[in-house]
Amino acid sequence: MLRSILAVICGLVTWFVAATIGNFGLRAWLPGYVAVERSMAFSTTMLCWRLVLGFVSSIAAGYVVSWIAGRRKPATDFAFAVVIVLFFLPVHYGLWSKFPIWYHVAFLGLVGPFAFLGATLRRRQRTMQEGGAAVTG
């Protein structure tokens, strides 16, 4: 249980670290991003890239959760997917008027499944490694 809680906490930290690093990339790569960042007056292209960044951050976080939780802990992976959505619900409620509804629906609808995808990728990797070790070992 303690390991599962630690995994979820580390997943949240991973999400924010990945999103912060990715945001530096958006600032450098997207013309005009820095100029509108404070007002959050993002173009549709910028919003789409912010979604991509959120989904990549979710995959990375889910991967870390599964890695820390250890073997056969899909319940922890699922719990993290729920926690990340619940965490962002009040955030998006506060931003509701700043972004179009499709952005909120896409983010809140997919951030959890992408986190679970990251965890699933880690579980599959672990299974393949264990299978390969049994064959070669």
Using a 10 angstrom Cβ sphere, with 0-12 exposed, 13-18 middle and 19 or more buried, the burial of residue 47 is middle
Reply yes or no on whether the pLDDT at 135 is more than 70: no
| Summary mean pLDDT of the chain | 92
pLDDT given at position 72: 65
Structure tokens at 137: 């070992």
CA distances from 47 to 41, 78, 126, 129 (A): 9, 27, 34, 38
pLDDT given at position 70: 84
Angle (CA) 31-104-68 rounded to 5° is 90
Task: Name the band, by pLDDT with cuts 50, 70 and 90, for residue 132.
Answer: low
Is 114:59 a contact under the CB 8 Å cutoff?
yes
pLDDT digits (tens, 9 = 90+) for 20-55: 999 999 999 999 999 999 999 999 999 999 999 999
pTM: 0.89
